[in-house]
A and B are shown apart, each in its own frame.
Chain A
Amino acid sequence: MDRIFGIDLGTTNSLIAYLDGDTPCVIRDPKTGQGILPSVVSFPTPDEIAVGTAARDLAARFPLATIASVKRFMGLGMSHVSAEDRQYYRFADPDGADIVRFQIHERAYSAPEISAVILKELKLRAERALGEPVTRVVITVPAYFNDSQRQATKDAGRLAGLEVLRLLNEPTAAALAYGLDQRNQGTIAVYDFGGGTFDISILKLHEGIFQVLATNGDTRLGGDDLDRRIATRLLERIAADRRGHPDVVQACIRAAEAAKIHLTDAAEAMVQVRLPGLNVDASMPLTRAEFESAVSDIVDRTLGPCQQALKDAGLTRSDIDEVVLVGGSTRVPLVRARIEEFFGRRPHLDLNPEEVVALGAAIQAGVLSGRRTDVLLLDVVPLSLGIETVGGVMERIIERNTTIPVIGRQEFTTFVDNQTAVDFHVLQGERELVKDNRSLARFKLRGIAPLPAGVPRIEVTFMIDANGILNVTARDQRTGREHSIDVKPSYGLSDDIVERMLEESIDHAEEDVAARLLIEARNDGDALLRATHKQLAHATAEERPPIDAAIARLDAAMQTSDYNRIRDLTEELNQVTTPLAERLMDASIKEALEHKRVEDVG
């Protein structure tokens, strides 16, 4: 039986993990040893795709053909796109469109398609590392993801050729990874502040049962927002006239992120940015205090959901036995201080906050495959679900924080005499009025016998499965007839479109592999060429001719798409330059040692 893998498909970084015996392990890239794959996809040309670190390195050169933080757009329509988003992405569709697609070269890519590229890369990494096929997976999602966002994640899995056996809530996954080593009783709060999303979950642990009592969050709030806030300052200060240039904006964001990370341990950082095209470095000093006052309102936005989750769980702050931190943004000292202040206790930091979700996903994968029988998750639906009724009011059928799976039923009737069809509008959210909630889908029930208003009885059943995904059925109680309903999702891809994309992607599977191999080969070749040019001045007269010849051959090959030839010629150049490189290395070590000796004396 094939193994089941656990995937953390994050806003900033993604990981894949598995159970080695009983122990969850993150799978590392056999070449680089990296466990983290940056969730970035870049299309330097219409026929090339780069993923991960390679794509991130291309972001400054191809800002609009490089997609980072795609998770922010999963399951959304253009109406959810902000003016700020338009600064960083080029969208393919008009304002009212029910789907978000990125315009890249001549093609439009939906968010699930971009996510599928990341998933495929993780799949490939695991297959290379373990030498076995990866087909069945558990993918984690923010607990506060609504139905459309969950569907979009499932679609991404399908597009990547994966069978998604379960969508698992990220804070729950983290609790699973933590709960194993911690005390196995008690109430814990999982504070998950990632690159683009925020979740808070309150769980009760009881002899291997992880019972979620309440969850809350914000699926558009994360470390990205901190970076953008600092980037905006930087732009105002040093590049106000170039604010509209995507490459400048991109460079400022990278600089802001680096400064944020530096300020985790340091009291002051220099935000340094090389302005593209100008070849000059601009810089701005930033103290931790300045950083904290600039972003404190963003951090404070996480506390409201914490308060609400506690209230929904029927608890107060003092009932919480442990606080667990998840997500890279919890490394920010201000975030830690605020949590400690809020819960009145020092949070747990034993596990790597970037890896803990993937480890939990691997454990849940072990549960689903029957390898782990000691733990069981009882999760909840994060947002209430209901139906629009006459007058634009939402009638709730399932309340938020209900344990899943759950089945809810509600009877509806007609509003006017002889009405033979009813339009159902499925909604998710906590507000009274339809317009304030999220539209999930619409369907029409036909063939109702013409009767006076209020006489027909139509039972609508909402079933939420263990993935937190909704299935709706409607039944005419008088005839007992179950109506087949055509559910049209309000946002995201319909099943037909996913099918068609799948067919196309199978056709292109071979090209995709070739494209990525080409990019890798070009990157390696490019790096070596640049290093060689720097060393060339130190080459002896005898060394020069073979090196020059090898450079010329590799340069020519780099213009073609023949990745095998590029690789071979890279290796050739590597061999002819090795003596030179070694000599230079020795010299610099010697110099360093001499320098040190002088210092010692002084």
Chain B
Amino acid sequence: MSPTPAAPVERASGASTASETNCWQCGTAHPAALFCAACESIQPFAPGSDYFDILGIPRRVSLDARELEQRYFELSRRVHPDLYQTGPSQARIISLGNTASLNRAFRTLRDPLERGLYWLRLQGDDLSRDNNQVPADLASLVFEIQEQLENFRASGRPPAVRDELRQTRTELTTRRDHAFKELHDNFIEWDAGRADRAALTQELKSILSTIKYLRTLIRDLDRELEG
């Protein structure tokens, strides 16, 4: 019998205390470095590293996209499996694991929505927790659009309604862009260390779910408009 997806569970997170390990190649103890100081062999990322640690950038959620990309390219040039193809197999395995972690870290942090969701998890929170409802101001809009789409399909996709849907799409993207702006402002608040963290977390959750809903709606519209 096929499996069913399991609901996500909370994982104990928290930095590992072991900041010192030994090089797999020469045995020299090294403080969580990517390359052994003695023999220069590649080392795995320290266990418990978060995405900011992996990329070696300050833990700031309002990060500079260009700096992030620069850092990603720099690290790729040092850990990518292409560079370890003819080396010892252990180095090859480590390079593979490190690059997979690096790719995931970059993919998550470069996208503001994914980065926000990740930041929320770093705070020990999750979007699904006490937030299963459509954001209040969006609820009626979601309902309206679903109805519009159904009418469009039922009436044989008349051009007039198509234009209406295009108009709706424009409104939605404007709204989405605005929500991204709010998200950015929220990120700056976090980094400034000002405001109350609980309030910031609530605000972050509300913005993130708004963006998620808007994105789904836009995708539904696109499907109908293109199809």
A209 lies within 8 A of B6 (CB): no
- Say whether B86 contacts A370, CB under 8 Å: yes
Q: Is A280 an interface residue (CB 8 A)?
A: no
Kindly state the separation between the CA atoms of A369 and B100 in the bound complex, as whole angstroms: 21
In Å, the complex CA distance between A414 and B5 comes to: 9
Give a binary string over B28-49; 1 marks a CB under 8 Å from any A CB, 0 the rest: 0000000000000000000000
Is there an interface contact between A466 and B1, defined as CB atoms closer than 8 Å?
A: no
- Given A376-B76, A378-B76, A405-B103, the answer on whether A422 and B6 have CB atoms closer than 8 Å is no
Q: Are A413 and B103 in contact (CB under 8 A)?
A: no
Chain A, range 426-462, C-beta contacts under 8 Å to B: 454, 457-458, 460
* Most chain A CB within a 10 A radius of its CB, from B80, B96, B100, B104: B100
Partner of B4, one of A369, A389, A404: A389
Proximity bits, B73-112, A CB within 8 Å = 1, else 0: 1001100111101100000000011011101101100000
- B1-15 residues with Cβ-Cβ distance < 8 A to A are 1-6, 8-9
A469 close to chain B: CB less than 8 A = no
Which A residues are in CB contact (< 8 Å) with B73? 206-207, 209, 211
Task: State whether A368 touches B82 (Cβ < 8 A).
Answer: yes
Check B3–A415 contact: CB distance below 8 A: yes
Is there contact, CB below 8 Å, between B82 and A390?
no
Q: Is A419's beta carbon under 8 Å from chain B? A: yes
Contact B2 A415 (CB under 8 A): yes
- State the main secondary structure of chain A at its contact with B: strand
- Residues A422 and B1 in contact, CB atoms below 8 Å apart: yes
Q: Is the CB of A367 within 8 A of B82?
A: yes
Contact: A457 with B82, CB < 8 Å?
Answer: no
| Contacting pair B85 A368 (CB below 8 A) | yes
Please give me the residue from chain B that is nearest to A370 by CB atom: B86
Q: Which residues of B contact A425 (CB under 8 A)?
A: 2
Given A405-B96, A407-B104 in contact, is the A414-B86 Cβ separation under 8 Å? no
Chain A 400-415, CB-CB to B under 8 Å as 1, else 0, gives 0011111100111111
What per-residue 1/0 map shows which CB atoms of A87-129 lie under 8 Å from chain B? Answer: 0000000000000000000000000000000000000000000
* Residue picked from B8, B82, B96, B107, most chain A C-beta under 10 Å: B82
Within A358-406, which residues are at the interface with B (CB < 8 Å)?
Answer: 364, 367-370, 376-378, 387-390, 395, 402-406
Chain A residues with CB under 8 Å of B5's CB are 389, 395, 410-413
Report the separation of the CA atoms of residues A16 and B227 in the bound assembly, to the nearest whole angstrom: 44
Q: CB-CB < 8 A to B8: which residues of A?
A: 411
Min CB distance A207 to B, Å, is: 8
Query: Given the known A-B contacts A369-B86, A376-B82, are A458 and B3 also in contact in the complex, defined by CB atoms under 8 Å?
Result: yes
A424 on the interface (CB 8 Å rule)?
Answer: yes
Let me know if A289 is at the binding interface, CB within 8 A: no
Given A209-B73, A376-B77, A415:B1 Cβ within 8 A? yes
Q: How far is the CA of A366 from the CA of B100 in the complex (A)?
A: 23
CB of A536 within 8 A of chain B? no
CB distance from B134 to the nearest CB of A (A): 23
Q: How far is the CB of A379 from chain B (nearest CB, A)?
A: 10
A364 and B100 CA atoms in complex are apart in Å by: 20
**B-facing mask of A554-580, CB < 8 A → 1, else 0?**
000000000000000000000000000
- Given A368-B82, A377-B82 in contact, is the A405-B76 Cβ separation under 8 Å? no
A423 at the interface (CB under 8 A from B): yes
Contacts A402-B103, A405-B81 known; A390 to B96 CB distance under 8 Å? no
Q: How many residues of B contact A (CB 8 A)?
A: 26
Chain A min CB distance to B140 (Å): 28
- Min Cβ gap B161→A in Å is 24
Q: Among A209, A388, A421, A454, find the residue whose CB has the most chain B CB atoms closer than 10 A.
A: A209
Asked if A515 is at the interface (CB within 8 A of a chain B CB), the reply is no
Q: How far is the CA of A389 from the CA of B2 in the complex (A)?
A: 5
A458 to B81, CA, bound (A): 29
Q: Residue A412 contacts which of B4, B80, B86, B104 (CB distance < 8 angstroms)?
A: B4
* Chain A residues whose CB sits within 8 angstroms of the CB of B104 once the complex forms: 406-407
Cβ-defined contact, A368 with B86, below 8 A = yes
**A71 close to chain B: CB less than 8 A:** no
Specify which chain B residues have a CB less than 8 angstroms from the CB of A458 in the assembled complex. Answer: 3, 6
Contact A209:B77 (CB < 8 A) given known A368-B86, A463-B100: yes
| Residues on the B chain within 8 Å of A419, using CB | 1
Task: Verify B85–A390 contact, CB threshold 8 A.
Answer: no
* Residue of B8, B76, B85, B104 with most partner-chain A CB within 10 A: B85
Question: Is the Cβ of B2 less than 8 Å from the Cβ of A422?
Answer: yes
Residues of B within 8 A of A421 (CB): 1
A54 at the interface (CB under 8 A from B): no
Once A206-B73, A368-B86, A376-B80 are accepted as A-B contacts, the answer to whether A422 and B100 lie under 8 Å apart by CB is no
Q: Is A416 an interface residue (CB 8 A)?
A: yes
Pairwise interchain contact A390-B77, C-beta atoms closer than 8 A = no
Q: How far is the CB of B3 from chain A (nearest CB, A)?
A: 4
> Are B100 and A407 within 8 A (Cβ)?
yes
How far does the alpha carbon of A416 sit from the alpha carbon of B103 in the complex, in Å? 37
Tell yes or no: A165 within 8 A of B by CB.
Answer: yes
Q: For residue A414, which residues in chain B have a CB less than 8 angstroms away from its CB? A: 1, 3-4
Q: Which residues of chain B are within 8 angstroms of A403 by Cβ–Cβ distance?
A: 103, 106-107
Whether A387 touches B81, Cβ cut-off 8 Å, given contacts A368-B86, A378-B76, A402-B107, is no
Is A601 an interface residue when CB atoms closer than 8 A count as contact?
no
B74 and chain A: residue at smallest CB distance: A209
Does A166 count as interface, using CB distance less than 8 angstroms?
Answer: yes
Give CA–CA (A415, B6) in the complex, Å: 10
Evaluate contact between B6 and A454: CB separation under 8 angstroms.
Answer: yes
Please give, as numbers and ranges, the residues of chain B lying within 8 Å of A368 by CB-CB distance. 82, 85-86
Complex Cα–Cα for A165 and B92 (A) = 12
Closest to B78 in A: A376
Known: A166-B85, A368-B82, A390-B1. A457 touches B6 (CB 8 A): yes
Asked if A465 is at the interface (CB within 8 A of a chain B CB), the reply is yes
Q: Is the CB of B1 within 8 A of A423?
A: yes
Q: Which residues of B contact A404 (CB under 8 A)?
A: 103
Q: Smallest distance from the beta carbon of A9 to chain B beta carbons, Å? A: 20
Kindly list chain A residues whose C-beta atoms are within 8 Å of the C-beta of B96.
405, 463, 465-466
- The CA of A457 and the CA of B8, in the complex, are separated in Å by 10
- Expressed in whole angstroms, the Cα–Cα distance for A402 and B110 within the complex equals 13
Q: Is the CB of A466 within 8 A of B3?
A: no
For this complex, 11 residue pairs linking A to B, each with C-beta atoms less than 8 Å apart, are A209-B76, A369-B86, A390-B1, A402-B103, A405-B96, A405-B100, A407-B104, A419-B1, A423-B1, A423-B3, A458-B3
4 nearest A-B residue pairs (beta carbon): A412-B3, A411-B6, A413-B6, A368-B85
Given contacts A206-B73, A376-B76, A407-B104, 12 further A-B contacts (CB under 8 A): A209-B77, A369-B86, A370-B86, A378-B80, A387-B3, A403-B106, A404-B103, A405-B99, A410-B5, A411-B5, A415-B3, A458-B6
